[in-house]
Amino acid sequence: MDLTDEGAVKQALANIDPTDVFITTWLRQPTEAENCRVNAGMVRNLLQAMDGKPLRHVALVTGLKHYMGPFEAYAKARPVTPFREEQPRLAYQNFYYDQEDEVFAAAERQGFGWSVHRPHTLIGYAVGNQMNMAATLGAYAAICKETGRPFVFPGSPQQYEAAVDVTDGRIIAKHLLWAATEPAARNNAFNIVNGEVFRWNWLWPKLASHLGVATAEYPGHAQPLEEQMAGMEPVWDAIVAKHGLQRNPLNKVVSWWHSDADLGRVIENFTDMTKSRDMGFTAYQNSLRSFTDAFDKFRAAKVLP
Protein backbone atom coordinates (compact mmCIF):
# COMPACT_ATOMS: atom_id res chain seq x y z
CA MET A 1 0.00 0.00 0.00
CA ASP A 2 1.39 3.39 -1.03
CA LEU A 3 0.62 5.72 1.87
CA THR A 4 1.46 8.75 -0.27
CA ASP A 5 -1.50 7.97 -2.57
CA GLU A 6 -4.74 9.03 -0.87
CA GLY A 7 -6.94 7.06 -3.26
CA ALA A 8 -4.87 3.90 -3.02
CA VAL A 9 -4.97 4.05 0.79
CA LYS A 10 -8.76 4.40 0.85
CA GLN A 11 -9.16 1.53 -1.59
CA ALA A 12 -6.77 -0.76 0.29
CA LEU A 13 -8.50 -0.14 3.62
CA ALA A 14 -12.09 -0.06 2.37
CA ASN A 15 -12.97 -3.45 3.86
CA ILE A 16 -10.74 -3.29 6.94
CA ASP A 17 -12.11 -2.04 10.27
CA PRO A 18 -9.21 -1.74 12.72
CA THR A 19 -9.62 -0.64 16.31
CA ASP A 20 -5.92 0.16 16.80
CA VAL A 21 -3.41 1.67 14.35
CA PHE A 22 0.37 1.85 14.83
CA ILE A 23 2.19 4.33 12.57
CA THR A 24 5.89 3.51 12.33
CA THR A 25 6.83 4.45 8.77
CA TRP A 26 8.57 7.38 7.12
CA LEU A 27 10.11 8.29 3.77
CA ARG A 28 13.39 10.21 3.75
CA GLN A 29 13.33 13.32 1.55
CA PRO A 30 16.11 15.73 0.46
CA THR A 31 14.85 18.66 2.57
CA GLU A 32 12.94 18.98 5.82
CA ALA A 33 10.19 20.89 4.02
CA GLU A 34 9.71 17.84 1.80
CA ASN A 35 9.95 15.53 4.82
CA CYS A 36 7.11 17.50 6.39
CA ARG A 37 4.97 17.44 3.26
CA VAL A 38 5.42 13.75 2.46
CA ASN A 39 5.45 12.24 5.95
CA ALA A 40 2.60 14.32 7.35
CA GLY A 41 0.68 13.54 4.17
CA MET A 42 1.05 9.79 4.73
CA VAL A 43 -0.37 10.10 8.25
CA ARG A 44 -3.21 12.28 6.98
CA ASN A 45 -4.08 9.86 4.16
CA LEU A 46 -4.13 6.91 6.54
CA LEU A 47 -6.30 8.58 9.16
CA GLN A 48 -8.72 9.99 6.61
CA ALA A 49 -9.21 6.43 5.38
CA MET A 50 -10.10 5.47 8.97
CA ASP A 51 -12.96 7.98 9.17
CA GLY A 52 -16.19 6.18 10.11
CA LYS A 53 -14.39 3.03 11.26
CA PRO A 54 -14.37 1.75 14.87
CA LEU A 55 -10.97 3.26 15.58
CA ARG A 56 -10.09 3.31 19.27
CA HIS A 57 -6.39 4.16 19.45
CA VAL A 58 -3.64 5.53 17.18
CA ALA A 59 0.03 5.23 18.16
CA LEU A 60 2.63 7.34 16.33
CA VAL A 61 6.34 6.49 16.55
CA THR A 62 8.69 9.44 16.06
CA GLY A 63 12.01 9.85 17.90
CA LEU A 64 14.52 12.06 19.66
CA LYS A 65 14.81 14.51 16.78
CA HIS A 66 11.77 15.93 18.56
CA TYR A 67 14.32 17.36 21.04
CA MET A 68 17.47 17.64 18.89
CA GLY A 69 15.98 19.00 15.68
CA PRO A 70 15.75 17.69 12.11
CA PHE A 71 18.80 16.59 10.14
CA GLU A 72 19.10 20.07 8.56
CA ALA A 73 19.50 21.61 12.03
CA TYR A 74 20.72 18.53 13.87
CA ALA A 75 21.96 19.31 17.38
CA LYS A 76 22.10 23.07 16.76
CA ALA A 77 19.84 23.44 19.76
CA ARG A 78 21.25 22.55 23.17
CA PRO A 79 18.38 20.72 24.86
CA VAL A 80 18.78 19.85 28.52
CA THR A 81 19.40 16.17 29.26
CA PRO A 82 17.83 13.87 30.10
CA PHE A 83 15.20 14.74 27.49
CA ARG A 84 11.74 15.04 29.04
CA GLU A 85 8.38 14.95 27.31
CA GLU A 86 7.34 18.39 28.54
CA GLN A 87 10.23 20.12 26.76
CA PRO A 88 8.80 22.50 24.12
CA ARG A 89 9.09 22.02 20.39
CA LEU A 90 12.11 23.62 18.75
CA ALA A 91 11.79 26.56 16.38
CA TYR A 92 12.61 24.48 13.29
CA GLN A 93 10.52 22.71 10.69
CA ASN A 94 10.27 19.11 11.83
CA PHE A 95 8.20 16.39 10.23
CA TYR A 96 7.66 14.80 13.65
CA TYR A 97 5.71 17.88 14.72
CA ASP A 98 3.62 17.83 11.55
CA GLN A 99 2.86 14.13 11.98
CA GLU A 100 1.80 14.73 15.57
CA ASP A 101 -0.48 17.57 14.48
CA GLU A 102 -2.18 15.29 11.93
CA VAL A 103 -2.85 12.72 14.67
CA PHE A 104 -4.13 15.37 17.10
CA ALA A 105 -6.47 16.90 14.51
CA ALA A 106 -7.86 13.52 13.43
CA ALA A 107 -8.36 12.47 17.06
CA GLU A 108 -10.36 15.65 17.66
CA ARG A 109 -12.55 14.96 14.62
CA GLN A 110 -12.92 11.20 14.98
CA GLY A 111 -12.83 10.69 18.74
CA PHE A 112 -10.04 8.12 19.07
CA GLY A 113 -7.30 8.14 21.70
CA TRP A 114 -3.65 8.50 20.77
CA SER A 115 -0.10 8.00 22.01
CA VAL A 116 3.22 9.31 20.69
CA HIS A 117 6.37 7.24 21.24
CA ARG A 118 9.85 8.81 21.05
CA PRO A 119 12.57 6.15 20.90
CA HIS A 120 16.29 6.74 20.62
CA THR A 121 18.35 4.74 18.12
CA LEU A 122 16.43 1.52 17.47
CA ILE A 123 18.39 -1.70 17.82
CA GLY A 124 17.04 -4.97 16.45
CA TYR A 125 16.77 -7.34 13.51
CA ALA A 126 15.70 -5.82 10.19
CA VAL A 127 17.07 -6.04 6.65
CA GLY A 128 16.65 -3.12 4.29
CA ASN A 129 15.89 -0.64 7.05
CA GLN A 130 17.19 2.90 6.44
CA MET A 131 18.27 3.42 10.05
CA ASN A 132 19.82 0.18 11.29
CA MET A 133 22.83 0.64 13.56
CA ALA A 134 23.22 -3.01 14.59
CA ALA A 135 23.43 -4.25 11.00
CA THR A 136 25.66 -1.32 10.08
CA LEU A 137 28.17 -1.96 12.86
CA GLY A 138 28.09 -5.70 12.18
CA ALA A 139 28.91 -5.15 8.52
CA TYR A 140 31.59 -2.59 9.43
CA ALA A 141 33.20 -5.18 11.71
CA ALA A 142 33.08 -7.84 8.99
CA ILE A 143 34.74 -5.52 6.48
CA CYS A 144 37.39 -4.52 9.03
CA LYS A 145 38.12 -8.18 9.71
CA GLU A 146 38.29 -9.04 6.01
CA THR A 147 40.61 -6.13 5.16
CA GLY A 148 42.79 -6.31 8.27
CA ARG A 149 41.89 -2.88 9.56
CA PRO A 150 40.97 -2.22 13.21
CA PHE A 151 37.37 -1.78 14.28
CA VAL A 152 37.57 1.81 15.56
CA PHE A 153 34.73 3.90 16.95
CA PRO A 154 33.86 6.21 14.02
CA GLY A 155 32.07 9.00 15.88
CA SER A 156 32.78 12.21 17.74
CA PRO A 157 34.69 12.58 21.03
CA GLN A 158 31.50 13.85 22.64
CA GLN A 159 29.62 10.67 21.74
CA TYR A 160 32.53 8.44 22.68
CA GLU A 161 32.71 9.87 26.19
CA ALA A 162 29.17 11.04 27.04
CA ALA A 163 26.25 9.14 28.52
CA VAL A 164 23.85 7.81 25.90
CA ASP A 165 21.00 5.32 25.56
CA VAL A 166 19.28 3.25 22.85
CA THR A 167 15.91 1.59 22.26
CA ASP A 168 15.58 -2.15 21.70
CA GLY A 169 12.94 -3.10 19.13
CA ARG A 170 11.44 -5.48 21.68
CA ILE A 171 10.97 -2.82 24.34
CA ILE A 172 9.23 -0.38 22.02
CA ALA A 173 6.88 -3.20 20.99
CA LYS A 174 6.00 -3.70 24.67
CA HIS A 175 5.58 0.05 25.10
CA LEU A 176 3.22 0.35 22.12
CA LEU A 177 1.03 -2.44 23.46
CA TRP A 178 1.06 -0.95 26.96
CA ALA A 179 0.04 2.52 25.79
CA ALA A 180 -2.75 1.09 23.63
CA THR A 181 -4.25 -0.81 26.57
CA GLU A 182 -3.50 1.37 29.61
CA PRO A 183 -6.27 3.96 30.16
CA ALA A 184 -3.91 6.32 32.00
CA ALA A 185 -1.64 6.47 28.94
CA ARG A 186 -4.40 7.76 26.64
CA ASN A 187 -3.56 11.01 24.84
CA ASN A 188 0.05 11.22 25.99
CA ALA A 189 3.50 11.45 24.44
CA PHE A 190 6.23 9.24 25.89
CA ASN A 191 9.94 8.70 25.62
CA ILE A 192 10.87 5.04 25.24
CA VAL A 193 14.42 3.76 25.77
CA ASN A 194 15.96 0.68 27.35
CA GLY A 195 16.05 2.24 30.81
CA GLU A 196 19.80 2.53 31.35
CA VAL A 197 22.66 4.68 30.07
CA PHE A 198 26.12 3.66 28.86
CA ARG A 199 29.18 5.23 27.27
CA TRP A 200 30.49 4.16 23.90
CA ASN A 201 34.04 3.99 25.30
CA TRP A 202 32.72 1.17 27.53
CA LEU A 203 30.49 -0.55 24.97
CA TRP A 204 32.74 -0.48 21.89
CA PRO A 205 35.35 -3.07 23.01
CA LYS A 206 32.53 -5.37 24.15
CA LEU A 207 30.94 -5.21 20.70
CA ALA A 208 34.33 -5.89 19.11
CA SER A 209 34.82 -8.94 21.33
CA HIS A 210 31.39 -10.34 20.45
CA LEU A 211 32.01 -9.78 16.74
CA GLY A 212 35.51 -11.28 16.89
CA VAL A 213 37.32 -8.28 15.46
CA ALA A 214 40.40 -6.40 16.65
CA THR A 215 39.89 -2.84 17.82
CA ALA A 216 42.33 0.03 18.31
CA GLU A 217 42.64 3.15 20.42
CA TYR A 218 40.11 5.84 19.59
CA PRO A 219 41.95 8.57 17.62
CA GLY A 220 40.11 11.44 19.31
CA HIS A 221 38.15 12.58 16.26
CA ALA A 222 35.36 11.37 14.02
CA GLN A 223 36.12 9.08 11.06
CA PRO A 224 32.73 8.83 9.30
CA LEU A 225 31.76 5.39 8.07
CA GLU A 226 30.40 6.85 4.85
CA GLU A 227 33.96 7.94 4.02
CA GLN A 228 35.78 4.91 5.45
CA MET A 229 33.52 2.41 3.72
CA ALA A 230 33.29 4.13 0.34
CA GLY A 231 33.97 1.61 -2.42
CA MET A 232 33.75 -1.43 -0.13
CA GLU A 233 30.99 -3.12 -2.14
CA PRO A 234 33.39 -5.64 -3.76
CA VAL A 235 34.80 -6.52 -0.34
CA TRP A 236 31.28 -7.10 0.97
CA ASP A 237 30.41 -9.25 -2.05
CA ALA A 238 33.49 -11.35 -1.34
CA ILE A 239 32.42 -11.73 2.31
CA VAL A 240 28.96 -12.85 1.18
CA ALA A 241 30.45 -15.48 -1.13
CA LYS A 242 33.06 -16.64 1.38
CA HIS A 243 30.54 -17.20 4.19
CA GLY A 244 27.52 -18.25 2.15
CA LEU A 245 25.45 -15.27 3.27
CA GLN A 246 22.18 -14.00 1.86
CA ARG A 247 22.96 -12.18 -1.37
CA ASN A 248 22.09 -8.74 -0.06
CA PRO A 249 23.95 -5.79 -1.56
CA LEU A 250 25.86 -3.75 1.00
CA ASN A 251 23.49 -0.79 0.73
CA LYS A 252 20.59 -3.03 1.77
CA VAL A 253 22.35 -4.13 4.94
CA VAL A 254 23.94 -0.88 6.14
CA SER A 255 22.97 2.73 6.68
CA TRP A 256 26.35 4.45 7.01
CA TRP A 257 24.77 7.92 6.92
CA HIS A 258 22.45 7.20 9.84
CA SER A 259 25.09 5.70 12.12
CA ASP A 260 27.38 8.61 11.25
CA ALA A 261 24.64 11.05 12.22
CA ASP A 262 23.99 9.30 15.55
CA LEU A 263 27.61 8.63 16.48
CA GLY A 264 28.86 11.99 15.23
CA ARG A 265 26.67 14.21 17.40
CA VAL A 266 28.47 16.90 19.37
CA ILE A 267 25.90 17.07 22.17
CA GLU A 268 24.96 14.69 24.95
CA ASN A 269 21.72 12.80 24.36
CA PHE A 270 19.90 10.54 26.77
CA THR A 271 16.34 10.24 27.85
CA ASP A 272 14.14 10.36 30.94
CA MET A 273 11.63 7.52 31.42
CA THR A 274 9.90 8.83 34.56
CA LYS A 275 6.59 9.56 32.86
CA SER A 276 6.14 5.97 31.67
CA ARG A 277 7.41 4.57 34.98
CA ASP A 278 4.94 6.66 36.97
CA MET A 279 2.10 5.29 34.83
CA GLY A 280 3.15 1.68 35.36
CA PHE A 281 5.47 0.76 32.46
CA THR A 282 8.44 -0.92 34.13
CA ALA A 283 10.05 -2.98 31.34
CA TYR A 284 13.85 -2.77 31.05
CA GLN A 285 16.37 -4.01 28.50
CA ASN A 286 20.12 -4.53 28.83
CA SER A 287 21.67 -2.42 26.04
CA LEU A 288 24.73 -4.60 25.47
CA ARG A 289 22.38 -7.53 24.90
CA SER A 290 20.30 -5.41 22.53
CA PHE A 291 23.33 -5.32 20.23
CA THR A 292 24.61 -8.85 20.81
CA ASP A 293 21.16 -10.39 20.39
CA ALA A 294 20.71 -8.48 17.14
CA PHE A 295 24.16 -9.56 15.89
CA ASP A 296 23.31 -13.18 16.71
CA LYS A 297 20.02 -12.95 14.81
CA PHE A 298 21.75 -11.46 11.78
CA ARG A 299 24.32 -14.25 11.89
CA ALA A 300 21.70 -16.97 12.28
CA ALA A 301 19.82 -15.55 9.29
CA LYS A 302 23.05 -15.45 7.24
CA VAL A 303 22.93 -11.68 6.87
CA LEU A 304 26.22 -11.18 8.73
CA PRO A 305 29.17 -13.61 8.97
Please state, in angstroms and rounded to a whole number, the distance separating the CA atoms of residues 70 and 93. 7
Beta bridge partners of 117: 61, 190
Catalytic residue among 53, 74, 92, 96, which? 96
Please state, in angstroms and rounded to a whole number, the distance separating the CA atoms of residues 58 and 99. 12
**Residue 215, helix vs strand vs coil:** strand
Please state, in angstroms and rounded to a whole number, the distance separating the CA atoms of residues 290 and 170. 9
DSSP 300: H
**Residue 246, helix vs strand vs coil:** coil
Catalytic residue among 10, 53, 65, 242, which? 65
Tell me if residue 96 is catalytic.
Answer: yes
The distance of Cα 170 from the centroid of its chain, to the nearest Å, equals 12
List Cβ<8 Å contacts ≥24 apart for 10-14.
10/45, 10/48, 10/49, 12/49, 13/46, 13/49, 13/50
Beta bridge partners of 163: 199
Please state, in angstroms and rounded to a whole number, the distance separating the CA atoms of residues 262 and 65. 11
Please state, in angstroms and rounded to a whole number, the distance separating the CA atoms of residues 73 and 70. 5
Residue type, 47: L
Tell me if residue 297 is catalytic.
Answer: no
Side-chain-facing half-sphere of 59: CA atoms under 13 Å? 26
Please state, in angstroms and rounded to a whole number, the distance separating the CA atoms of residues 3 and 16. 15
List active site positions.
65, 96
